[in-house]
Structure 1
């Protein structure tokens, strides 16, 4: 049993196993395996029909839990009867033994159950004759007055580890059993219709249950791969990683998380990695009521991780009644490596890159380099390496980063010409060399390859704003906002572009939306300097000097040496009319390594300073010649 603290609840549960299975294995191994397949298939469908959850399969046995004792017993009786019929397909019919109990259980983070309740159900099942469904006295007391059940008292039995307990054989009246199945199927059909109307899902970070708790990069990476795959499906709204992962470790229930993220379903799970084995437990939850729509557990070799990710994503789509188009199928979870060691290094790099500090991006670069050393054909890692070098150049303006960004992006494209991410990397590398026309071609190709890729629109928009094509940059920020409605960055920069274009009424509305979005975002991410920094500029353009000043100060407190935070603070000071302080701020940003290129020449926040000799001198130092 795991050592970490577990939650507890009262549950109706049963164990079922196949009578005569061991002897059948000796006689006919193939037929015995078919018996297990039949049990697993019937268990999944029957348990779901009666609103339960299959906890796990153990060889020829299954453990399931239910929200009520009546549901548990009806499911057990239906399963027992149906299995006796279906098992004949293996060449000889077999019966099940099923023991049902009501007791306290401890729930591990991966959904497994432990405790006296589980032990009692297992001991009851072991005392059952083939074809019987036997219930404990606690279960009998719950359903003894319910219509349709017949009971036969077996008397008091002494069970190992449980003690003395009264047991009862239970059967269902034939007519009512049929009605029960019919009612359950009708309810299931209503549930199916509800699921087919669901068109939004949040993928929460998967819990790291590894013994050393040192695999968060792996659990995050798997969840992010699934999130990215689902976000490519037309008609399905998937909030961004930053929004979803803000709920790491949250104690809120599914309904509250769903409300905050604006989604109808949640996908969460856990990963336990040990050596070359991995166990992944996932569940899809209806955010309106907290009920489970689908769950599964995968116990596989680590080399199967790519297949598991694909299976989880496709199972979610199937549960929601969605199908991939031919184009979506082409883009859906296509790994560019089969080397697990390289993949792990890549996931470590991605986790570090998402922190987006100068130090973390440098560490990310090292991880991406490690990944491509292990597998030189890993296109996604080469694209990640290019992005890291682009950002490092923006911070430090080291010519070597510029050269390496170009080399890595070209290599990524050589390996995978259809990779939208690689074309984005190439576009960035070209843009920082002021090769704007070539960069535009790369970004356009990225959008052609993957119209759902947020970064393609957002980063392309930034490049166009910097190059002076403000009209088109506004259109791209709008498209980025459409692809990822919960992203605040595209909203802030759209407000900036509209201000530069003189479309002030539209700009004001956009800035209001941006501030509201940031306020919501900061509730979940109160320590992100960039949100305060960009939000301060939007608030200032709206005339809210108090909020703008507070957010700007908060950004500097969180990241006092961040060049972009210092740059945005200077923007605010310029809008306040504090010219000398704004110029001092730009000097500090320059000393910190800001590399905004031609952006500063088109930034409307500095309109009042354009003719100032000191500002012109700073522009010459910041913008490339």
Structure 2
């Protein structure tokens, strides 16, 4: 049986590396050559050793062709070394490739000016957004697609990693006001072109070209766009190309979460406002800048939240059904109000744009953590993992699905996968340390101290608090617990849960209950978690004030509907 399995695997590898295809093509050609030599040998007065020489050359040629095919992969992207087949993990396993599924690879900037990179990236993102409005078409998100920027992997390999059938790729040449875009749609499974097209025009034609690309993809994969889909695509268009460029220049900086980057984004957006006047796109960007300055802890001046609210008001005045506006409004309400009012905004954002990864993530997080409704969240985060499989933070959702049910080993498994995608993701690093402690893994001590030694930051400090508190070293734990941690936890929508757990295992019962009550004020009604599944809270479950709170939470949880 073992030999049979090895033969089966070897046969599969021969087919995957296209050696069998080479044999099928080479054999009849070699036969024809031998027959021709046999027929023409006498007429051409060829030496007697000619046939033997031809056979030897054909055999040598066959060996070279087979070896070349085994080592190299010839595709539309050129010749590259064939990569080993990567076994699929638990999320991807047993999944068939959806017939109508596509990834839009980052369009290549072939302009003479490398600083035009923002424009090609912006075009990629807009096409992804357009295609996401097409019903029944699974479109890989921007964040996952951008991980392949500059990649030398074959299209088949890329498509396999994100479990899609089709790949759209292209290039952009922008010179002054002139524009030239090349796009091609490829069936990655068969490595065949479905269509390819060149578009030339002026900068103002960019939105028409973008629509033509989306139409071509739609017609190739499912037929003509329905009126509702086309309407959404048209609504997504920006009416001022110069405003669009200012926004595109700010976009890369909005995702870097550093003061320098956010200030750079602010300058580009304000430049657009000063030059071209009020625009919902610029207001959206500025609202994100000020919220992130506060939320990331870079600048926790309350005025940043006031500015965010000011731009939210302007966004909704200009565009009452702005999905981006409702997403930002939901984040603000998590800060200033509670999870229930925030969830209503995330829900509205998802109704307007059901494929925006950030919206799906927050929708799931609140369902999982605050509302204690894991099964209602599961189908949504499974959809999120389909359209955005290579963003590490998304794997935190299935981790929380198990964590909040007390299944810590399963949760740790998903956090490990998250770290594999993004080794420096500090949230995943922090969660891993806590789960190692909860599972009483013998790596916990070394892991916690190593993280603190390498980078003694905010989350690493929290990890040291938990490690010492869990192991009965209260004094050491309190040395790491700073005022800034407590302030952040008091204002945050979730951090109070962790602080409550730390205090509970340190036998600081009143403080533990105080932070759980604060979390309840923030909309947390996850009765199963605080009543049963969180082992850190065991020390306070018999306290009268905690029992009273549990009674209230249980009633709210049982009666809750969304």
How many Å separate the matches in 1 of 2:452 and 2:217?
Answer: 39
- State yes or no: 1:421 paired with 2:324: yes
State whether structure 2 residue 506 is matched by structure 1 residue 597. no
**Cα distance in 2 between the residues matched to 1:242 and 1:205:** 10
**TM-score by structure 2 length?**
0.64
Mapping for residues 198-597 of structure 1, pairs under 5 Å? 198-332=99-233, 334-335=235-236, 337-394=238-295, 395=297, 396-434=299-337, 436-462=339-365, 469-472=370-373, 475-476=376-377, 479-485=380-386, 486=389, 487-496=391-400, 498-500=402-404, 503-505=405-407, 508-519=409-420, 521-522=421-422, 526=423, 528-537=425-434, 546=443, 557=454, 561=457, 563=458, 567=462, 583-587=478-482, 590=485, 597=492
Q: Structure 2 regions of 5+ residues with no counterpart?
A: 1-32, 37-96, 523-562
Give the 3-state SS of the residue equivalent to 2:336 in structure 1.
coil
3-state SS, counterpart of residue 256 of structure 1: helix
Structure 1 vs Structure 2 CA RMSD? 4.0
User: By how many angstroms is 1:435 displaced?
Assistant: 5.1
> Where do 5+ consecutive residues of structure 1 fail to align?
1-141, 146-195
- Structure 1 residues 149-180: Cα deviation after superposition (integer angstroms, max 9, x where no partner): xxxxxxxxxxxxxxxxxxxxxxxxxxxxxxxx
- The alpha-carbon deviation at position 479 of structure 1 amounts to 1.6
- Residue 418 of structure 1: SS of its match in structure 2? coil
Query: Quick one: distance in 2 between partners of 1:231 and 1:580?
Result: 53
By relative contact order (CA 8 Å, sep 6+), the higher-ranking structure is 2
- Which residue does 1:612 correspond to in 2? 508
TM-score by length of 1: 0.58
How far 1:571 sits from its partner (Å)? 5.6
Deviation per CA, 1:506-539: give whole Å up to 9, x if none.
x6545434433542x24xxx55545544555556
Q: 1:197 to 1:508 in 2, by over 3 A?
A: closer
Q: Decide which structure has greater strand share.
A: 1
Distance 2:450 2:287 in 1: 33
Residue 30 of structure 2 corresponds to which residue in structure 1?
none
SS at match of 1:273: strand
Q: Is the partner of 1:214 in helix, strand or coil?
A: helix
SS of 2:115's equivalent in the other structure is coil
Bigger mean CA deviation after superposition, 536-545 or 331-340: 536-545
Cα distance in structure 2, aligned partners of 1:353 and 1:516:
26
- SS of the counterpart of 1:504? coil
Aligned-pair CA distance for 1:352: 1.0
